[in-house]
Structure 1
Amino acid sequence: MLNISENNQIRIDGKYKTVRNLTERPHYRVLNKIIGFISVITIIALFLPWTQNISGTGFVTTLKPDQRPQTVHTAIAGRIEKWYVKEGDFVQKGDTILFISETKDDYFDPNLVQNTKQQVDAKKMALESYGGKVTSLEAQVASLQREQVLKLEQAQNKIRQSRLKVKSDSTDLEAVKTQLRIAQTQFNRAVQLNKDGLKALTDVEEKRLKLQEAEAKIITQENKLLTSKNELINARVEINRLIAEYSEKISKANSDKFTALSSQYDTEAQVNKLQNQYVNYSIRNGMYYIKAPQSGYVNRALLAGIGETIKEGTPIVSIMPAGYDIAVETYVDPVDLPLIKKGERVRVWFDGWPSIVFSGWPGMSYGTFGGRIVAVENFISPNGKYRILIAPDKKEGKWPEQLSIGAGAQTIALLDNVPVWYEIWRTLNGFPPNYYQPKDSGDSKAATTEKK
């Protein structure tokens, strides 16, 4: 037992004079009141609203890619002959920056374009000649085909005539045979009557003569029939000959036509190739003068001197476009990327511009400007972060006109509102900010539309 009782307790405030004097001082009581007041204020402050945010560091850039500083390159190899601008000059689109001369022996001829043009014209004339030859051969083929049709019709008519003649000669032959039979019958009857004494011998001789004439006629008529049949055969043979003859002529004409067509197509290909060379030479002549692709200021000349030889694609000068829409390019950590949404509000302040920033209370900040996220890169950058592009918020004040491209910038993406004590607890435990979907973002509008 420690044997501690109320009688044995030491009263420090009564024993030590210094402690008693401090207790009796008036400002000691005031200090206690101040400490109590600050404690109350601190407890109240823990329940004040705090805006969670994601901070980032970036620089000023332009909203559109064609408004950013660009380097003008030469498209062909050459030798520097003359400069038309100097650093800091303002150039309009199409103004000449530099003149270079040719260094390749294939293009040394000063009349290269004119000579190529003459070659093109000559090949075009040859192409027209082949076209005329093809037209003539087509007309020749058509004429031969028409002539073949007429010749075949003529041969068909001759066949019909031969057939009719054969038929006529056959009929005549039958008639002669009939006459022969009649003459034979009359002759036999005359002989019989002569034997019977009813006819004179002269009548018999007369009938014999007629019989012989009939026999001679039948031989003649058979010869005529054979001749007609031969003519019919000849007419048929003539048709085959005509078909073979005109087929050969038409085939030869078509062969000449296809040869001319082949030459025509080959010449047409040569014309196209020469025209391509002519256009290439003409364009190359225009590339000796390197011109400004857009209006802007010449920031820096990347080459110097006269007579320096340069290769294709060599950078010549750097130009800053005169007109551009300003924006801020910043980067966020991968853990914060799911909290970034297109259209979300962001506060921005710039290096060299006076500002007072309270990250948790953006309304109390001074010198910050409103922005909206317009693009979120889906692929990580070499620095291990994700790139975010921020444009000025049209609902707030304009950004300073004195800003220059490349100036440093700080950004804060505003998220959900939480109590201060919650934010302190989250930070001490290393938790990420609350997942927050802004009500006025484009994604939330799309989701609302789908629900409807």
Structure 2
Amino acid sequence: MLNISANNKVPLGEIERFSTVRYLTTRPHHKMLNRIIIGLCILAVIILFLPWTQNISGTGFVTTLTPDQRPQTIHNAIPGRIEKWYVREGDFVKKGDTILFLSEIKEDYFDPNLVENTKQQVDAKRNALQSYDSKVGALESQAVALSREKDLKLQQARNKIKQSLLKVKSDSIDLEAVKTQLRIATTQFDRSVKLNKDGLKPLTDVEEKRLKLQESQAKIITQENKLLTAKNELINAQVEINRITAEYSEKISKSNSDKFTALSSQYDTEAQVNKLENQYVNYSIRNGLYYITAPQDGYVNRALQSGIGETVKEGTALVSIMPAGYDIAVETYVNPIDLPLLKKGDEVRVWFDGWPTIVFSGWPGMSYGTFGGRIVAIENFISPNGKYRILIAPDPKQAPWPKQLSIGAGTQTIALLDTVPVWFEIWRTLNGFPPNYYQANESDTAKEKAKK
């Protein structure tokens, strides 16, 4: 039934007797098809030897070149309650313009005259500090005066000692003179007694000599008393020096003790003044934090807190602002295997979402709707998405990027590498090899530029 058996085979000559078979065998289309196939093969071989630019593709979004130009949120530094909004979403604000006003919610700062009262406390403590300073100066002057008075008293006591020494010496000499007179009187008395016994002197002369002897004996006792009195005065003068030294040392020590007490109080008051000044400055700054102001010129994107009377903690995001002036850039991500092939200054082609684009990754000259860029920063730490972040800025040597681009718009990028034949790129892709790792030396690059 399937005409598989050789017994049912129809000879070719019998088939050609049909007109349809004869028409089909004489048609020229199969010859044209063969030519087309041969031409396509030749074209494919030619294409294999065309230059192909190796590239690294990535996806990202539009951002700004510097961090201070990117969208930012404004936070409150102190807790408070929202009392009034001064802006609406979409408004343009200048640096320093008030966005909203917060009122105080902590009981330590409810006093409306807190700053003025703290200022008065600072002034009072400063006056007390000046008083302690004056007291220290007075005590220092008192100690100096006591030291001078001590020196004078000691000098006076030393002079008195010298006087006592001289008086002791004088009394000692007088005592020796009296002793000499006593010896002379004794000798004269003995001689008068002897002469009287011999009948050579009268009794009156003996009595006269006895009277002189008694007078000399009385003088020597008196002179000894004077000498002892002078020695006692000398001892008293020496004791007076010790008393003066001890007395004025006590007075000076007490004065110094009072001075050090005043200094201690002065330093304590100075610390209190510094503390109060710190509180005064803090309160003054806190009063300025009730008004949330714009850090730079920009547009209010979104109010993250709403309503009046809502309580917010410190560090709460209140409003989002987009800076008015910024330098546009592209933030893209590449695979870790491609990171060693990139360096600062490499050329990159970028196309943006919403812009008509025809891209031939290997032939950048034939791509339509792409814009030139240069790598300005390469992140050395992997991102949470498992790729490395690359920052691209516009290439000043090529067409400028569209001004209508908005921050956050999606982008795709192609980093251009070496130029190789198409067959080499197909072979590399089929084998899973990375793009060309080898970089030309500077001398070779210079020679190639010279040849061109």
TM-score normalized by the length of structure 2: 0.87
Q: Which residue does the alignment assign to 1:250?
A: 252
Q: Output the CA distance in 1 between the equivalents of 2:196 and 2:407.
A: 151
Q: Which residue does the alignment assign to 1:448?
A: none
Is 1:303 matched up with 2:298? Answer: no
Shift of residue 27 of structure 1?
A: 5.5
Q: Which residue does the alignment assign to 1:4?
A: none
Q: Which residue does the alignment assign to 1:218?
A: 220
Amino acid at match of 2:390: I
1:13/1:19 contact within 8 Å kept: no
Which residues in structure 2 correspond to 1:163-174 (within 5 Å)?
163-174=165-176
Is 1:77 matched up with 2:79? Answer: yes
Q: Output the CA distance in 2 between the equivalents of 1:421 and 1:21.
A: 43
SS in 2 for 1:72: strand
Q: Which residue does the alignment assign to 2:50?
A: 48
Amino acid at match of 2:230: S
Q: Output the CA distance in 2 between the equivalents of 1:438 and 1:325.
A: 33
Q: Output the CA distance in 1 between the equivalents of 2:171 and 2:15.
A: 177
Cα 1:32/1:14, change in 2 over 3 Å:
farther
Q: Which residue does the alignment assign to 1:109?
A: 111
1:170/1:225 contact within 8 Å kept: yes
Cα 1:438/1:371, change in 2 over 3 Å:
farther
Cα 1:54/1:221, change in 2 over 3 Å:
same
Q: Give the total of aligned pairs.
A: 430
Which residues in structure 2 correspond to 1:154-303 (within 5 Å)?
154-303=156-305
Which of 330, 337, 351 aligns to 2:332? It is 330
Q: Output the CA distance in 2 between the equivalents of 1:351 and 1:332.
A: 18
Q: Output the CA distance in 2 between the equivalents of 1:439 and 1:299.
A: 50
Amino acid at match of 1:158: K
SS in 2 for 1:193: helix
Shift of residue 174 of structure 1?
A: 1.9
CA displacement 1:35-71 (0-9 Å, x = unmatched): 4444334334333332222111000001111111011
Q: Output the CA distance in 2 between the equivalents of 1:333 and 1:196.
A: 157
Q: Which residue does the alignment assign to 2:427?
A: 425
Cα 1:81/1:439, change in 2 over 3 Å:
farther
Amino acid at match of 2:355: W
Comparing 225-234 with 186-195, which one deviates more in the overlay?
A: 186-195
Shift of residue 23 of structure 1?
A: 8.3
Q: Output the CA distance in 2 between the equivalents of 1:270 and 1:258.
A: 18
Comparing 314-323 with 124-133, which one deviates more in the overlay?
A: 124-133
Amino acid at match of 2:300: V
Shift of residue 303 of structure 1?
A: 2.1
1:416/1:436 contact within 8 Å kept: no
Is 1:63 matched up with 2:54? Answer: no
Q: Output the CA distance in 2 between the equivalents of 1:79 and 1:170.
A: 102
CA displacement 1:147-174 (0-9 Å, x = unmatched): 1111111111111221222222222222
Q: Output the CA distance in 2 between the equivalents of 1:252 and 1:117.
A: 36
Q: Which residue does the alignment assign to 1:91?
A: 93
Q: Output the CA distance in 1 between the equivalents of 2:102 and 2:258.
A: 52
Q: Which residue does the alignment assign to 2:403?
A: 401
Comparing 32-41 with 227-236, which one deviates more in the overlay?
A: 32-41
Q: Output the CA distance in 2 between the equivalents of 1:190 and 1:23.
A: 206
Q: Output the CA distance in 2 between the equivalents of 1:15 and 1:213.
A: 205
Is 1:342 matched up with 2:378? Answer: no
Q: Which residue does the alignment assign to 2:7?
A: none
Task: Specify every segment of 5 or more residues in structure 2 that has no aligned partner in the other structure, as ranges.
Answer: 1-10, 446-452
Of all paired residues, the percent bearing the same amino acid is 79
Cα 1:29/1:233, change in 2 over 3 Å:
same
Cα 1:30/1:143, change in 2 over 3 Å:
same
Cα 1:384/1:204, change in 2 over 3 Å:
same
TM-score normalized by the length of structure 1: 0.87
Task: Specify every segment of 5 or more residues in structure 1 that has no aligned partner in the other structure, as ranges.
Answer: 1-11, 445-452
Cα 1:145/1:436, change in 2 over 3 Å:
farther
Cα 1:411/1:187, change in 2 over 3 Å:
same
Q: Output the CA distance in 1 between the equivalents of 2:14 and 2:395.
A: 71
SS in 1 for 2:418: strand
Cα 1:376/1:277, change in 2 over 3 Å:
same
SS in 2 for 1:323: coil
Cα 1:161/1:54, change in 2 over 3 Å:
same
Cα 1:35/1:137, change in 2 over 3 Å:
same
Is 1:129 matched up with 2:131? Answer: yes
Amino acid at match of 1:269: A
SS in 2 for 1:374: strand
Which of 350, 375, 378 aligns to 1:376? It is 378
Shift of residue 19 of structure 1?
A: 10
Q: Output the CA distance in 2 between the equivalents of 1:176 and 1:97.
A: 114
CA displacement 1:350-381 (0-9 Å, x = unmatched): 11122222222223322222222222222221
CA displacement 1:224-247 (0-9 Å, x = unmatched): 111111111111111111111111
Cα 1:225/1:430, change in 2 over 3 Å:
same
Q: Which residue does the alignment assign to 1:414?
A: 416
1:81/1:307 contact within 8 Å kept: yes
Q: Output the CA distance in 2 between the equivalents of 1:410 and 1:145.
A: 91
Give me the CA root mean square deviation.
Answer: 2.7
Shift of residue 331 of structure 1?
A: 0.9
Shift of residue 403 of structure 1?
A: 0.8
Q: Output the CA distance in 2 between the equivalents of 1:152 and 1:83.
A: 82
Amino acid at match of 2:371: F
Which of 134, 137, 140 aligns to 1:138? It is 140
1:70/1:320 contact within 8 Å kept: yes
Cα 1:348/1:193, change in 2 over 3 Å:
same
